[in-house]
Amino acid sequence: MTIADIVAQASAPGQPRSVGLSADECLKCNVCTTACPVARVTDLFPGPKYSGPQAQRFRLGSELAPGSGRLSVVPSPDRSVDYCSGCGFCTTACPADVKIAEMNNRARGALRSGRRPRLRDWLLGQTDLTGRLGGLTEPLANWGLHNRLVRVLIDRILRIDRRAPLPRFARRSFRSRLGRHWRGRWSANAPAPATSVVYFHGCAANYYEPEVGQAAIDVLERNGFTVIVPPQVCCGLPLISNGLYAPARGRARSNIAVLAGYARAGYRIVGTSTSCTHTLKAEYREMLDIDDADARMVAEATWDICELLVDLHAQGRLDTRFGALDRTLPYHAPCQLRSHGIGLPALDLFELVPGLRAIDLDHDCCGIAGTYGLKSEKYEIAMAVGKPLFERIRAGGAEQVACDSETCRWQIAAATGARLRHPVELLAEAYDAYLAAEP
Amino acid sequence: MATADVAVVGAGLAGLTAAIRLAEAGARVHVLAAGHATTHWAPGGIDLGALPDSRTSQEAIDRLAMVPGHPYGVLAAELPAALAWLRAVLAREGFELEGAPGDPLRAIPTAIGATRLAALLPAGMAGALPAWAPDETLVVCGPAGFRDFWPEAIAGALRRPSSWRGQTPPGRIEAVSVELPGLAGRRNLSSLDLARLFDDPAWRRAALEGIARAVAARSRAPGRVALPAILGLNDHPAALAAAREILPLLPFEVALAPPSVPGLRLYAVLRGALRRHGGRLQVGEAVHGTIDAAGRVAELRAPAAAREFVLSAGAVVLATGGIAGGGIVADGPATLREEVLGLPVDGPPAGNWLSDDALSPAGHPLETAGIRTDRHLRPVAPAGSTADGRPIAENVRVAGSLLAGQRYLRERCGDGVALASGVLAARKLAGVAR
Ligand SMILES: Cc1cc2nc3c(=O)[nH]c(=O)nc-3n(C[C@H](O)[C@H](O)[C@H](O)COP(=O)(O)OP(=O)(O)OC[C@H]3O[C@@H](n4cnc5c(N)ncnc54)[C@H](O)[C@@H]3O)c2cc1C
Ligand code: SF4
Ligand code: SF4
């Protein structure tokens, strides 16, 4: 296969655009650099243009593995790409549709592939394992993770920053609290697809914030849905963003195996974590090259919960009997949500709640970017990235702040002392307020 | 599916102007843009018009308004009010636009040591506007090691009288590079890095004092200092005030290669104004839509993760910026395609697209490609068709560089057309609240 063949194949109509070859579209305009929160605060990262399309020229050569016809990425000419947080603002800002963040992520994957992963990176990817262990050993685990001395040791040994925001394990996981919900794989006996949704809770709602999962169930049930909670594992994003593609593929395969059954039967899959839902929607294909019919079915069936509720509203099917929540509510839209390309559905929903004055904080990134800001060598970068956001929140003095993504919630809560809530928790509260006000 | 009263496509000067005006009038506005606009590239002045032989912008505007099919035919009348509005939006954030359309067009130094014509500039750059007296010195001063601004090269080129377009040059031109505090070991400094440093009051004082010493060593008043456009990104008004206070000569900023710091400041002000009025802005959405049988566009779609994002709206402002902004694309060697609605494109005949010099003073042939509209900015059927000149999309208004009939680079009218058409499009759509 010649270079020309590969280029022709990759640019054939209908072919999803190759992440690597999109570097060809680069105009060198530097607009991406203006949008990069990391390059804004550190010299350690030269910015998206350099680490993306510029460096890509050096990576493409060996993409052309003879006869394979497959485009894969070879290591980056320099390692600074590891400082990319993966927030994705560069990709949205680029006027030429260069897939910069995706390119960087693949380059990181190539840097890691074939090597033994750092213990820390591996561990950060094991959210199911740590979640289960933490749940079993709670409260000891919570004590440890919030004890200064233990954190200093973890910092020294693992390089997870002692100051970084770690969540608290819930005493009982979300799944273990579930009652009557259908929790199996799809079968003909499952509740009917027209009146049910499949809930992908992810690790955060399961191990750390079961209240978010409960709020999702309450809101969905209030709108007449039966909620199905099928077996699931971590979506794999923490592995992907640490460049550990091989184990991530394992996670992806097992989720797809379960969820495709539902997707094929016409169910919608809804998630409360914008990162998990984005992984199901896009990253299995874009990052992990899993692009079969099942993966596509799952992607197309997946919805962020606020996206789904806005869609219901547009069809006149959302129960809009919200009680009043009289408060000012600053809202931070997480990077992962922006990568969905669905706007800011939480703000649309907040408009429906009487008394609720939501304010779009309009700051790019809180810094945490999944597990990025936990790492000792990146913690200070992450805090500098989020600083204007934290200052705005502190200056506003609001007690509560809303945000759709768990790691951002933990980061912002740790940095500001505010109480961070998922939008769906506020909607559940507003539904309760309505019921309470009913005579 | 999301809903809005008006969907605005494009986040450049035209789209943002239309969006803010509509939001001010109480409409629910949603801006969708494929990426950032030419605000991030263009030099940062507000160009209303400049022809090689026009003395003022007003003269250029008046002449262009007489050219058949030129957008200024309809828009020239809108310009004064539109400009007053923009000045007010900027003033709220402490930004000032200096100069007026009736002022003489002046030769303004650029970062390659050439000059361009301008009459209306943000305060930071406006120090270059007054005519040079023969006893004045121009000191071109930049940070050592900054690759986008080479004082010696700029001064060298500016010393050629031919650089000044027939206008009187400064009596003396000097160049000086200054080590700025704490930058010795830093590589890859960009205009953005430097501008952000100037946001920090303590750092900028030290930096400006260093610049002041270097400038004073070269020259005494009368004179002015040309600095790269890096005097603050988020707090430019304060950085500019400090520069004026500390430097011994009047400073002015010179636009650099993209990304444009002055353009980013303008964008931030417009974006803030839109948010204040409750408008939404979504970047990263390459939208498309269709005109239905009733001649309306009911919704716009954009590929998003896994599914299309759908925005249903009562009306659409199309401000995708023509060939430079990405709204018009050359599809093979013979077809020009309007990206969003597939509107008929008015452009140079096929086979006449290639030009040896993209920056030729005559302009590039593709620059004229655009969408023809009626007086209400509605797109119309192509010349030669049976419906020639009749609107083909009732609830769509076209604004900015996407409008046919202009050569926005050669005639230097891009910002004026964007601003005036943004304002007019918004007025035409006032009252579409659903
Ligand atoms: C490098 C450069 C320098 C320039 N310098 C000058 C100058 O000095 N003086 C001057 O008068 N003019 C200049 N111009 C022209 C400038 O484009 C106009 O002056 C004016 O600012 C155009 O504004 P606009 O809002 O119409 O379009 P643009 O600023 O081009 O904005 C277009 C917007 O539409 C979006 N878009 C495009 N296609 C789609 C789609 N399918 N879906 C969604 N969004 C889409 C883009 O992402 C962008 O946000 C320059 C242009 C360039 C490229
Ligand atoms: S914004 Fe896009 S086109 Fe511009 S330099 Fe970055 S990657 Fe290249
Ligand atoms: S993904 Fe984020 S951190 Fe990485 S280059 Fe892009 S904007 Fe910068």
Instruction: Please name the member of A30, A280, A362 whose beta carbon is closest to the beta carbon of B258.
Output: A30
Q: Which residues line ligand 1 (CB under 6 A)?
A: A 95; B 9-15, 32-35, 37-39, 41-43, 47, 285-287, 319-321, 324-327, 339-340, 400-401, 408-409, 412-415, 418
Would you call A343 and B3 a contact, using CB atoms and an 8 Å cutoff? Answer: no
Ligand nearest to the CA of A53: 2
**With a 6 A CB cut-off, is A80 part of the ligand 3 pocket?**
no
Residues of A whose CB is below 8 A from B303: 341
pLDDT per position as a tens digit, A331-351: 999 999 999 999 999 999 999
Q: Which of residues 278-337 of B touch A (CB under 8 A)?
A: 280, 282-286, 302-307, 309, 311-312, 325-326
3-state secondary structure of A421: strand
Residue of B283, B320, B337 for testing the chain A interface, max A β-carbons within 10 Å? B283
Would you call B304 and A342 a contact, using CB atoms and an 8 Å cutoff? Answer: yes
Mutation test of ligand 1: which of B115, B371, B397, B401 has the most ligand atoms closer than 8 Å to its C-beta?
Answer: B401
Residues of A whose CB is below 8 A from B311: 343
**With a 6 A CB cut-off, is A84 part of the ligand 3 pocket?**
yes
Residues of B whose CB is below 8 A from A389: none
Q: How close does chain B come to A194, measured CA to CA in Å?
A: 18
Could you tell me if residue B428 is left (phi over 0), alpha (psi between -120 and 50 degrees) or otherwise beta? alpha
Would you call B192 and A311 a contact, using CB atoms and an 8 Å cutoff? Answer: no
pLDDT at B145: 87
pLDDT at A433: 96
Q: Which atom of ligand 3 is nearest to the CA of A38?
A: 3
Nearest CA to A333 out of A324, A318, A325, A343 is that of A343
Inter-axis angle of helices A245-264 and A293-301, to 10 degrees? 70
Over chain B (434 residues), the average pLDDT of each successive run of 10 is: 94 98 96 94 91 94 96 97 97 95 96 95 97 96 93 97 95 96 81 95 97 92 96 97 97 95 96 94 94 95 92 96 90 86 89 72 82 97 87 96 92 96 96 66
Q: Is A348 on the interface with B (CB under 8 A)?
A: yes
The ipTM, to two decimals, is: 0.88
Would you call B258 and A29 a contact, using CB atoms and an 8 Å cutoff? Answer: yes
Amino acid (1-letter code) at residue A376: S
What CATH number labels A174-312?
1.20.1050
d(CA A45, CA A62): 24
Q: Which residues contact A77 (CB under 8 A, 6 or more apart)?
A: A55, A58, A59
CA distances from B217 to A389, B145, B177, B226 (A): 43, 20, 12, 15
Q: Which CATH architecture has domain A320-437?
A: 3-Layer(aba) Sandwich (3.40)
pLDDT at B368: 86
Which residue is closest to B1 within chain A, CA to CA? A311
Find the distance separating the first CA and the last CA of chain A, reported in whole Å. Answer: 74
Extract the runs of DSSP E, i.e. beta strands, from B266-355. Answer: 280-283, 288-289, 299-303, 308-318, 328-331, 335-338
| Contact (Cβ atoms closer than 8 angstroms) between residue A256 and residue A284 | yes
Q: How many residues does chain A have?
A: 439
How do the domains of chain A map onto residue ranges? 3-112, 119-158, 174-312, 320-437
| Contact (Cβ atoms closer than 8 angstroms) between residue A162 and residue A279 | no
- β-strands B223-228, B137-143 pairing: parallel
Alpha-helical (H) ranges within A272-333 are 274-278, 284-286, 293-301, 305-314
Q: Which residues, in sequence order, are bridge partners of residue B178?
A: B143
Nearest CA to A342 out of B309, B390, B42 is that of B309
Helix (H) or strand (E) holding B250: strand B250-254
Question: Domain B2-92+264-428, what fold?
Answer: FAD/NAD(P)-binding domain (3.50.50)
Would you call A343 and B196 a contact, using CB atoms and an 8 Å cutoff? Answer: no
d(CA A374, CA A414): 12
d(CA B139, CA B170): 10
Cis peptide bond upstream of B201, omega within 30: no
CA distances from A1 to A4, A17, A63, A68 (A): 8, 19, 12, 8
Residues of B whose CB is below 8 A from A341: 282, 284-285, 302-305, 309
Q: Which atom of ligand 1 is nearest to the CA of B36?
A: 49
Quote the DSSP letter at residue B371: B
Identify the segments of chain A with pLDDT beneath 50: 1-3, 13-15, 62-67, 73
Q: How close does chain B come to A176, measured CA to CA in Å?
A: 31
CA distances from B319 to A96, B30, B38, B384, B417 (A): 17, 13, 12, 25, 11
Q: Is A274 on the interface with B (CB under 8 A)?
A: no
Q: Which atom of ligand 2 is nearest to the CA of A97?
A: 2
Ligand nearest to the CA of A378: 3
Would you call B275 and A338 a contact, using CB atoms and an 8 Å cutoff? Answer: no
Burial annotation B24-40 (CB, 10 A radius, 16+ → b, else e) = bbebbbbbbbbbbbbbb
| Contact (Cβ atoms closer than 8 angstroms) between residue B262 and residue B229 | yes
Ligand nearest to the CA of B11: 1
Which residue's alpha carbon is nearest to atom 12 within ligand 1? B414
Query: How remote is the CA of residue B206 from the centroid of ligand 1, in Å?
Result: 37
d(CA A371, CA A353): 33
| Contact (Cβ atoms closer than 8 angstroms) between residue A283 and residue A275 | no
3-state helix, strand, coil in chain B (%, to 5): 30, 20, 45
Ligand nearest to the CA of B14: 1
Question: Domain B126-254, what fold?
Answer: Leucine Aminopeptidase, subunit E; domain 1 (3.40.220)
Residue of A30, A275, A291 for testing the chain B interface, max B β-carbons within 10 Å? A30
Q: Which residue has the tokens 């050359």?
A: B330
Residues of A whose CB is below 8 A from B41: 29, 31
| Contacts across the A-B interface (CB distance below 8 Å) | 102
Which residue's alpha carbon is nearest to atom 4 within ligand 2? A29
What is the value of pTM for the model shown?
A: 0.92
How do the domains of chain B map onto residue ranges? 2-92+264-428, 126-254
User: What distance separates the 2 farthest-apart alpha carbons in chain B?
Assistant: 72
Q: Is A97 on the interface with B (CB under 8 A)?
A: yes
| Contact (Cβ atoms closer than 8 angstroms) between residue A268 and residue A315 | no
A402 exposure class (CB count in 10 Å sphere: 0-12, 13-18, 19+) = buried
Query: How remote is the CA of residue A27 from the centroid of ligand 2, in Å?
Result: 6
| Contact (Cβ atoms closer than 8 angstroms) between residue A102 and residue A287 | yes
Q: Is A30 on the interface with B (CB under 8 A)?
A: yes
Query: How remote is the CA of residue A3 from the centroid of ligand 3, in Å?
Result: 29
Residues of A whose CB is below 8 A from B305: 278, 281-282, 299, 339-342
d(CA A408, CA A306): 17
Domain A3-112 has CATH 1.10.1060.10: yes
Query: How remote is the CA of residue B148 from the centroid of ligand 1, in Å?
Result: 22
Q: Is A96 on the interface with B (CB under 8 A)?
A: yes
d(CA B53, CA B181): 45
